Structure 1
């Protein structure tokens, strides 16, 4: 949208400290020219590589150079992360794990009342926002969300269990797997951990329902996906496990561009569901065996 209809954008896709250094230098230059940016948009964590930028540093830069921070917490989910201490606006796809049953399309945008931009944003929303959410969809969404925390706990546990069992393949030179992406394994784990909610008697936060597997070749990735006995599709956070060849589906015409941002065309993204975790692991390992035959 910003590229097509706005002033353009700068994409710091890796979210590393080095890239934040470059971003800060850009802000300093812009400030010296009496310019400023519209906003920073980021995810907690990112899709599909599950990285989390240093949001505390971004917040400090926002305070210094006067711009709002918009954070999408869909993948982390409200159950696991709280980004209100760093975000002026929090956006979430309610279609995903909050709903869980994959039968409603909805989203939310929450204005932080402690933000210096709150009054400005509130006036803009009152002037232009129209609530187009269908009443029956709203009712279904509320009903589906009643067991959100129960489902979130299962999704957290299952994803972590699967990742811990797949992870050793990365260290095996004979394996078809070159990397596993998951917030707990990422170099940015500490950034994610700083956003995690405190544990309570009702819920212990975790690292979410999403992880990605990068294969050493397109053929092995294809064999894995073809033999993985789960549903295939682009959504995430559903009660059923969904697998997606991310770059092949989402960035088919932009593979070269994607590769410059760390997105290999051999990535298979997996959104775990509520199925038995042992059964899911068995399905994954059967698919791995098929992929190894290609090697």
Structure 2
């Protein structure tokens, strides 16, 4: 983990109050601001256009990602939507075939309305990716690690292949600026659902778009104001508070995730574990090269049928069945019916999402407690399996 970035997160907004020297930056709830005189607006005039509290968060995110500026939005999907404002009708977007379900829904819906063209491509397939580049896309959309199968693609390589005429966008939500800095790897824009690790406490919905170049930052900032998707001051204040513990949270998240991944990888009732921190993961070496840490998201498939899978989830006491991710609490979800329900069955199968797949957002609880919870749930399922087999053998 990059210690300098962790310190930057801790210091987010500290001593930014120029009036009273408050350690914590003030919360400016005002929706509007007075003009000094007719024709003489101050720095802020209306909070949709600009707000001091939101700017503190934007400046921190830009610094963490190494960008020139950030736009803080009302949700992660509004950040995705904001980037689509850079498209003209007929422009092509290359999107990963295994992208987040909400991203899939947005791009397919825009394409149906004629707002753009979209091609979902396995970006790990060099031949397929290169063929799509020949169609001269306007935007290359990258997710790595991917949601929910934690596939890894080489960001630097893809950005180099795309060239300067393509806007390279990386969704960095599954990691954080402490673990991966896509702008240094060739991306033009980075997006986050700040709902996740940036805030980290499952109590604020938000997003952000961070730009590498001033011109691109000006464009997305203009559009954010135009379509009115900037975040509220209060949400920005809470997110800034959350980001101050990002470094220490990420450290604990990752320690727990690695231990759980190894436990699952050696469990007889588990078929496959998808976690880049495992050496046998296909993207392990690329992840080591471009990431500083392997994150705290993992997925796995079991040997259960659907009824047994549901019972396994019910037996868990410390893993809440819920969508979203990145909070201090551990969550488990069923992508096929939850986070990726917006994808039709064919698209799910193409992405490798099956009904046996479970996704885990590993929290910062005591790892021994989490492992004990998984152990007891598996043991209960094993007892049921043994009982059923005995009944079958006895006729």
Indicate the TM-score class for this superposition, using the shorter chain for normalisation. Answer: 0.7 to 0.9
Give the TM-score of the pair, scaled to structure 1.
0.84
Q: How many residues align?
A: 267
2 CA distance for matches of 1:256 and 1:128? 34
Question: Structure 1 pair 251/100, CA: closer, same or farther in 2 (3 Å)?
Answer: closer
- Provide the rounded CA distance (Å) in 2 between the counterparts of 1:218 and 1:86: 42
Residue in 2 that maps onto 1:142: 240
SS of 1:95 mapped into structure 2: coil
Point out the more displaced range, 182-191 or 232-241: 182-191
Q: Which of 275, 280, 292 pairs up with 2:365? A: 275
Deviation sequence 1:159-183 (CA, Å, 0-9, x none): 00111122112xxxxx321101111
> Match for residue 154 of structure 2?
54
Paired residues of 1:92 and 1:109 also in contact (CA < 8 A): yes
C-alpha distance in structure 2 between counterparts of 1:75 and 1:147, whole Å: 17
User: Does the CA-based 8 Å contact 1:179-1:214 persist in structure 2?
Assistant: yes
* 5+ long unaligned stretches in structure 1: 31-35, 170-174, 198-205
CA contact (8 A) 1:98 1:148 kept: yes
SS at match of 1:91: strand
Q: Which runs of no fewer than 5 residues in structure 2 stay unpaired? A: 1-105, 386-395
* Inter-partner Cα distance in structure 1 for 2:377 and 2:332: 12
- Contact residue 155 and residue 186 of structure 2 kept, 8 A: yes
Indicate the structure (1 or 2) with the bigger Cα radius of gyration: 2
CA RMSD of aligned residues (A): 1.9
Matching of residues 48-197 of structure 1 within 5 Å:
48-63=148-163, 66-84=165-183, 85-113=185-213, 119=215, 121-130=216-225, 132-169=230-267, 175-185=268-278, 186-197=281-292
CA contact (8 A) 1:238 1:273 kept: yes
Question: 1:14-57: CA deviations, max 9, x gaps?
Answer: x32xx2221212323x3xxxxx2121111121111111112222
- Structure 1 contact 232–244 (Cα < 8 Å) conserved: yes
Residue of 192, 212, 231 corresponding to 2:320 = 231
Moved more, 39-48 or 283-292: 283-292
SS for the counterpart of 1:248 is coil
